[in-house]
Every structure is written in C-alpha cells, then in structure tokens.
Amino acid sequence: MTHARRPALAALALALALALLAGLPACAAPSAGPTSAVSPTLTPDAQSSATRSRFRVGEVTDYQGKNLDPAIGPSDNSIGGVQRIDIGPYRLLVDGDVADPQSFTYEQVRALDPVELLLTLHCVTGWDATILWKGVRLADLIDRAKPGDRAVTVIFTGVDTYTTSLPLSVVREKDLILAYGANGLDLPPELGYPFIVVAEDKLGYKWARWVTKITLSDDPNYMGYWESRGYDNDADVTKTP
C-alpha cells in the first residue's frame, strides 16, 4: 500500500466509526445473512458458521432450495432497544380517519386468513436478510375500521414510539402484510414480536417492529422518525435515503 493511500483509508475508517457511534437507522430486522458473514471460501448462497449459529431451534433454514437468514441477528439498531411485550394486555389499535376504530388482541389478529411470503428485507446500511414471513393482510385489518374517503396514509407506531408510514395505495396494491411469524416460528422479540410490517420493496426503516397502532391519516406528507431526520419518505429499495 502506498503512503498516499493511507490517509484516505484512515479518513474512511474514522467516518465509519463516527457513523456507528451516532447510531444507525432502525431497520426492523437483524443484520444477518450470507452477504454480511460469508468467508471468501463460501459460494454466494452458502451460509457461514456464524450465520448458522443464530438460527433458533426449529427455525426453517431453507425454503424451495434457497438459504434463509436467521430471524435473530448479531446486533440491534432500534431507537430504544429490543422491546419485550407482555402479550396478555397487548392490543393492536386501528384508528385515525376511520368510521369504526378497532382494537385487536394478538390472537384475534392471528385468527385472520394467513399469508406466507418469501421476501428480502434491505437495510439502508447495506445488508439484507431473506426470511419466510407469515402474517395477515394489512388491508384486512384496515378495512374492518372502515377508513374515511380522505385517508391516504397509513402510520405505524411501535411500542418504542418509533413511527413510519406508507401510502394506503401502496399497502393495497402490494397487498402488504403484518407478520407474526418468521422462518416457521413466532417472531422473536429482536424481530418485532408480536408484529412487524413487511414492507416489500421498501428499505428497512419502513419495516416497523413491535407495532401497537395503525393510524389512517389524510396527510400525504407525513414524516416518521427517520424520515423527519432526512431519510427518503418513499424508501424504495432502488433509491438511496
């Protein structure tokens, strides 16, 4: 390595360290998977021993010939740490611009028609995780509350007060789900038990964890926690924040 390149590399290392100290955006899923832990001797779809060690007992590790990523990652980057929810008194609220606000117990949500999807979560910090999700259609929950004609935005609030939003049209067109399962087991607390928004084709900060409230709003420009701090409100996977 030449002396001319050393200052540039040192500056890059310092910048990365400062970014870690400042905290990373909540990505609503673990930083797991072959791309973040594969050794040079592994093929692109192989799993490292570090990845395999994070699978829970009974967790599905592959699906239709594709390796899955563990539902629990090596670290957490949420705004308030991993939340531990007492499911007894827990209620999922659907409110806002609706004619009939709803309050669901955990079991009432799980009693709705289930949907299973194999989807990859892409974090803004560069990693991704492919997981087999199981949950219910968000539209099934929303429609029970009878959204008003002016409702255009769906706001998700977590137990840790984290917020983010998606256009109601996107929720319907993509048939997005609220997941309670990952890789054949219930969500672990690290991934958002009891519920995580599976925001297909959106960056991880749209995947709200520990969801306790779904609010219908007539504000098309609502900004959630990270969006109000400069992150792109569309959060399309093909864009940068």
CATH number where 75 lies: 3.90.420.10
Residue type at 25 in one-letter notation: P
DSSP 55-100: PPTT---EETTEEPPPSS-S----SS------TTT--EEEEESBSS
**pLDDT at 109 > cutoff 60:** yes
Q: What is the pLDDT of residue 43?
A: 42
Instruction: Name the pairing type of β-strands 92-96 and 211-217.
Output: parallel
Q: Which domain holds residue 30?
A: 25-229
From 118-127, 146-155, 223-232, the region with the lowest mean pLDDT: 118-127
The model's confidence at residue 27, banded by pLDDT at 50, 70 and 90, is low
In a domain, residue 240? The reply is no
Q: What is the mean pLDDT of residues 45-64?
A: 78
**pLDDT at 149 > cutoff 80:** yes
Q: What is the pLDDT of residue 23?
A: 36
In a domain, residue 42? The reply is yes
Helix (H) or strand (E) holding 198: strand 196-198
Q: Which residue has the higher pLDDT, 193 or 50?
A: 193
pTM: 0.80
Q: What is the pLDDT of residue 241?
A: 64
In a domain, residue 205? The reply is yes
In a domain, residue 241? The reply is no
In a domain, residue 114? The reply is yes
In a domain, residue 16? The reply is no
Question: What is the total count of domains within the chain?
Answer: 1
In a domain, residue 236? The reply is no
In a domain, residue 185? The reply is yes
Q: What is the pLDDT of residue 76?
A: 78
